[in-house]
Chains A and B, each alone.
Chain A
Amino acid sequence: MKFNDAIIGVFLIIFAIIEILYARTFPTLFGQQFGPSEFPILIGIGLAFCGAVLIMRGLRLRYKNAIVGGALVSVGEWIESNAAITNFALVLLSILFFILAVDDVGFVITSFLILALLFKRFGNSFATSMIGAAIMTGATKYLFGFWLLVPLPIGQFGL
């Protein structure tokens, strides 16, 4: 999704104001006039400046060209494809599923389910998806779990 620069500019200014106001609550260094708030405030000022320039640029573009680049929000071609939206959502949901489930269900089951689903969704046959998911899960478990000794969660099923 593409936003007109003016919208991004407004967002940056709002973010900068909140950031500066919050940073001003930080204490100063002992015996000094400055402290941990200085750097974030400078960043906030910079972001606000960028926001202002982007607003001017976005509005100028909108004024100059009402059709191309003039819209406040425009969607990429991929948004018009249901398949692309589903794939996009599936990838994000897979990551969320991993975050929510891996500690309880265990690494092996979680990653097998994610891989099998995505392999199948991206156009592989059912058998290829299952075999591919099993091999990749096993290889990753071996590489990280056994070789690099990463404590991958085993969940309630011990896998």
Chain B
Amino acid sequence: MVDPFFVALELVFQPYVLLVIVCSGAFGLLVGSIPGLTATMATALLVPVTFFMDPIPAIAAIVTTVATAIFAGDIPGALLRIPGTPASAAYCDEAFAMTRKGQASKALGVGLVCSVIGGLLGSAVLMAATSTLADFAFKFSSFEYFWLACLGLSCAVIVSTGSVIKGFASLLVGLFISTIGIDLMSGHPRFTFGSIELLGGVSFIPAMIGMFAISEILRFVATADHVRPQIPHQRVTSVFEGVGRVLSKYRWNLLRGSSLGALIGVLPGAGADIAAWVAYAVSKRTSKEKEKFGDGHAEGLVDASAANNAGLSGAWVPALVFGIPGDSVTAIAIGVLYMKGMNPGPMIFLENPQILNSVFIIFFVANLVLLPLGYLAIRLSTQMLKIPARMLMPAILLFCLVGSFAITNSVYGVIIMLVMGVLAFAMEENGFPIAPTILGIVLGGMLEEMFLSSMIKSDGNFLEFFSRPIAASLGVLTIAVWVYPIMTSLKGNITSQNRP
């Protein structure tokens, strides 16, 4: 029998897949380098195309696009002080300060190389962690899966931006949307109001396009002042000059940023943005040259730009092992895998080991491809930043329309996209994060299935949910995740009332 790893190598190193990787890399760099367009939006725009691909090129396209888009966010951050993606926001001021000192090339070069190394180390963590956790995951029954999904969703709410209660409401909206359609256990239609198309549920891809792309377009037309940014007159040529010295000096920062990024990425809901903020903060706190931070010092850049790319791989750990996404992008990727009939979870290790190995290889290839493509993007950066948003936004809108239409082959997909786009816009206007909604839509079906299966097994006795050791531990942990902030808040209130 042929080793699945060699089968995976054969699957990935095909001209078609490699071409997909290069094209998606270029696409990710373009989208990521345009301020306002996020890596998640890039994925959302790409998914309708991946829908028509085989699983391996589809995964390759998603992974490469996100990895390159996250790096590309550094480009406008360094040159214009506008982060291309939220993941670059943490060190945008630092990189721009380097540009003001005439070190734009160095800032981008350090960012690129650290992103590549961070991505590669994160991929190694992904490979090691999934294999280890898979054995553990085989012991899971519906009780454990129920609590794990609850824990994942709870963490996603707790770490989401803004207020926790709004994050929780956002998650419940997503879970409600996931209940629309025929209930698979009883065959009873829910919240369909006679619509035949709603019987199949709210189509995931148009919903995601609406929430991430249409809401972004609406925000652009509503708030943009449409003034062209001033691109600094600075030649970005010797990209790798001086990078070696910086990396040699801060090699431990590089290792620490990558490890921290991969670990934070594993937490559901955390992802690359938070990884970069935490890594930058840790770098500043532990630095021997704290006073140089904010004045164009490369140290924080090394930590944070390695962390955000490492975080991407980390987010795939819970996604592949348990079928529980770590962030919005892996939520989208899981949606794609489900649509292709490949349910992520421990069984994928037995049923499709070649697919799993392909994911690992794709991560390594995508991060390696980032080096030449990123170099090219830096060299072309001043041209890319000149692309006017007034040309891009209508083009993106058309792509959204066609992408949503393509999934359902009818305007039903476009209607879902419109409704979800307006909903996401209104939610964000009022401080509700939208990532928990997406996680709720993706995980709602699984959560309910595990809940009802467990209820049937326990004959309706909820105490049975705590009858197995792992389930009980996960259950207690989930409750603690909710109780701890409430207790802290109450304690704070009592202290402030008692203060004279």
Contact = CB atoms under 8 A, between A and B. Distances in A.
A111 B402 CA distance: 9
Contacts of A140: 398-399, 402
The residue among A2, A39, A132 with the most chain B CB atoms within 10 A of its own CB is A39
B418 interface: yes
A150 interface: yes
A87 interface: yes
Nearest to A31: B456
Contacts of A124: 390-391
Contact of A8 (B185, B390, B414, B430): B430
B411 A47 contact: no
B414 A95 contact: yes
A47 B432 CA distance: 13
A27 B188 contact: yes
Contacts of A146: none
A152 to B, nearest CB: 7
A3 B421 CA distance: 18
Contacts of A107: 402
B221 A54 contact: no
A34 B414 contact: no
A118 B421 CA distance: 18
Interface stretch (B168-176, B323-331, B360-368): B168-176
A53 B421 CA distance: 26
A54 B165 contact: yes
A159 interface: no
Contact of B430 (A3, A78, A149): A3
Interface string A89-115: 011101110110011000100010011
Contacts of B464: none
Contacts of B406: 144, 148, 150
A122 B226 contact: yes
Given A98-B414, A148-B52, A2 B397 contact: no
A27 B190 CA distance: 11
B169 A47 contact: yes
Contacts of B188: 26-27, 35-36
A154 interface: no
Interface stretch (B60-68, B281-289, B447-455): B447-455
B186 interface: yes
Given A118-B394, A132-B391, A29 B179 contact: no
Given A38-B451, A40-B190, 14 more contacts: A22-B191, A29-B456, A32-B455, A36-B190, A39-B179, A40-B191, A43-B176, A46-B172, A84-B221, A84-B223, A98-B401, A118-B394, A123-B390, A140-B399
Interface of A: 1-3, 8, 12, 19, 22-23, 26-27, 29, 32-36, 38-40, 43, 46-47, 50-51, 53-54, 57, 76-78, 84, 87-88, 90-92, 94-96, 98-99, 102-103, 107, 111, 114-115, 118-119, 122-124, 132, 136-137, 140, 143-144, 148-152
13 contacts: A3-B430, A12-B169, A19-B191, A26-B188, A27-B186, A29-B185, A39-B175, A39-B452, A50-B169, A90-B221, A107-B402, A150-B52, A152-B405
Shortest Cβ-Cβ A-B pairs, 4 listed: A122-B390, A118-B394, A87-B221, A36-B183
